[in-house]
Amino acid sequence: MKSLENKLQPVILRAIQSVFQVEAESSSINFQSTRKEFAGDITLVCFALTKLLRKKPEVIGEELGQYLKANSELVTGFNTVKGFLNIEIDKKYWISELVSLTKDDNFGFKPLRNEDPAILVEYSSPNTNKPLHLGHIRNILLGYSVSKIIAASGKPSIKVQIINDRGIHICKSMLAWQKAGGKETPESTGLKGDHLVGKYYVAFDKTYKEEIKKLVDNGMPEDEAKKKAPSLMEAQDLLRKWEKNDPETVALWEKMNDWVYQGFDATYNRLGVDFDKNYYESETYLLGKKVVEEGLSKGVFFKKEDGSVWCDLTDEGLDEKLVLRADGTAVYMTQDIGTAIQRFQDFKVDRQVYTVGNEQDYHFRVLFLILQKLGYDWAEKCFHLSYGMVDLPTGKMKSREGTVVDADDLLEEMKETARRSSEELGKLEGFDQEEKDWLFETLGQGALKYFILKVDPKKRMLFNPEESIDFTGNTGPFIQYTHARISSLLKRGEAQGNLEQYNPQQIEIEVVKNICLFPEIIQEAAENYSPAVLSNYLYDLVKTYNQFYQNISIWNDENQDAIAFRVTMSQAVAEIIRKGMDLLGIQVPERM
């Protein structure tokens, strides 16, 4: 509605001057969308004008409405509800906006300004001790979509991940694999590499818990038992060996991490996501340790009696934060400090966006504060894209206990669910087996991605695979099916007629109004780092289009201007679905 607001604002300022003999500031002109129960295309909020004009808001609305209707070609009608002036806009305006948008080669996308500093978006960032799971999927889909939406808004974006390839977690898997004989490989087991390594992470946890129980049964306090369990102490020894570059330990670490990387890549490829650059904790933690040492000499950090290094954030309302352990090994904060600095040096970005769950809200407050204390001005522009956890109808996931929903299994389940739904609804006529497989994969992933991305990132969500496949609700398949329906309609041929000679019905105007919002929606979604803004817009557009489709024939009309208008409108809806769903990482079929 911004373009309409920009056209109306000077008209209303002139109206105020003419009707009330008062000069108003543009900041006093506030618009909002007209509520559905009232006639109108845009609403002027009159309450902000009462102090200036010294009249009741409903009187201001009535007098301005009468003036606008009599003196502006843009305004064809109005109604006043309390202090809200609902303004009806000439249909020719909407036709001209439709024509303008369809003639735009970018169709709502801003041309990419490569000379501008980029926005870096981090997502996925897995540990190398287990496969990707449902929690990772929300992270990946959110970060990937945000990066694409940013680019569509005209700003360069850079897609990265930090792979947490060092630390106690991978050492646990390494130790369990060694104790099991060190013979199994992805080739010998037929397992993806990330699944194989994850199997040994679960095995370690099982042994570790048995050891804790035994120690507790022998009289040791539980907190002490958790620290002194033999398996944990052995894993910690492996970590120290790795940091000292022990050849045998490093060789095992490289081998098992390589298995995991191959597994991750297969999942990323299936999801259709990629990265411009991978960062590795095993590399960036060294820079982090160096920066901590420098910060220690400058007084940014302090050392405790045991040799551990901390940052005091009590003046900022937080607490003291560990940045180096007493034995000199790094913690997550050390790595994140190094990673942030390295990425800024590599790309000179305008902002770094971290796509990480809300359980890490405190961590990122601390990280950004530490970077500021270290003197990095750009730290003020770092942003934590915090998102809620994903639950299932069966409850919360626990990776140590092997009860997570594996990403690969979920993708396969979504494909199978799409197959069952498609076959039950009879949407497969004329498809060979290869086309069916592509359709099932496309619908399954569309259902998964849309269901996750339509939820505001900040909210915790419940994912239900069966509900996500519904072809009639607020789902990916409903939008995909609408695209296929329009594609089928448009195959009938070209329409000849003059759009500007046609007098559209109100339901058609409602579709066009939704179409015209697309450029603004992209900007809003980019500014808020929220694919949910785009997702729910697409649903509203498709829902409105389907209301039109059910009530008005596109081709069966003697008026060629009407046919031309409806075809152009349908083409625009299909194009927005294609472009919008692509920004969500979703493909759309041409037929179903």
CB-based contact 416:468 (threshold 8 Å)? no
Does 575 lie in the same domain as 437?
Answer: yes
Banded pLDDT at 403 (limits 50, 70, 90): low
22 lies in a domain?
yes
Please state which of the ranges 86-100, 118-132, 306-320, 482-496 shows the lowest mean pLDDT: 482-496
Locate 181 and state its tokens: 């004989």
> How many domains would you assign to the chain?
3
Domain's final residue, options 56, 89, 122: 89
Whether residue 518 sits in one domain with residue 414: yes
Beta bridge partners of 159: 121
Q: What is the mean pLDDT of residues 344-371?
A: 95
**Which tens digit of pLDDT belongs to each residue from 178-217?**
999 999 999 999 999 999 999 999 999 999 999 999 999 9
What is the structure's pLDDT at 440?
A: 95
Rounded distance between C-alpha atoms, residue 533 and residue 540, angstroms: 11
For 76, the domain range is 2-89
Q: What's the pLDDT score for residue 394? A: 65
CB neighbourhood size of 89 (10 A): 21
Tens digit of each residue's pLDDT (9 = 90 or more) over 163-181: 999 889 999 999 999 999 9
440 and 577 together in one domain: yes
Looking at 266, 291, 316, the residue that finishes a domain is 266
Domain assignment of residue 354, yes or no: no
Supply 410's token pair: 């979920």
Judge whether 309 lies within some domain.
no
Are 466 and 566 contained in the same domain? yes
Averaged pLDDT, 537-558? 94
Q: Mutual orientation of helices 518-527 and 134-152 as an angle, nearest 10°?
A: 120
Give a yes or no: residue 474 inside a domain: yes
Can you give the pLDDT at residue 401? 44
Give whole-number Cα distances, 467 to 137, 140, 422, 463, 541, in Å.
18, 21, 14, 8, 21
CB 175 within 8 A of CB 232: no
pLDDT digits (tens, 9 = 90+) for 25-60: 999 999 999 998 999 999 999 998 999 999 999 999
Q: 189 with 73, same domain?
A: no
* Cβ atoms < 10 Å from Cβ of 434: 8
Q: What value does the mean pLDDT take over residues 226-251?
A: 95
> Is 174 inside a domain boundary?
yes
Q: What is the CATH number of the domain that holds 566?
A: 1.10.730.10
pLDDT of residue 1: 77
Q: Is 108 left (phi over 0), alpha (psi -120 to 50) or beta?
A: left
pLDDT tier at 396, thresholds 50, 70, 90: very low
Same domain, 428 and 561: yes
**Backbone angles phi and psi of 395, in degrees to 5:** 120, -165
Question: Which residue among 89, 122, 143 closes a domain?
Answer: 89
Residues, the chain: 592
Distance (Å, whole) CA 41 – CA 258: 58
* Range from 277-281, 428-432, 481-485 carrying the lowest mean pLDDT: 428-432
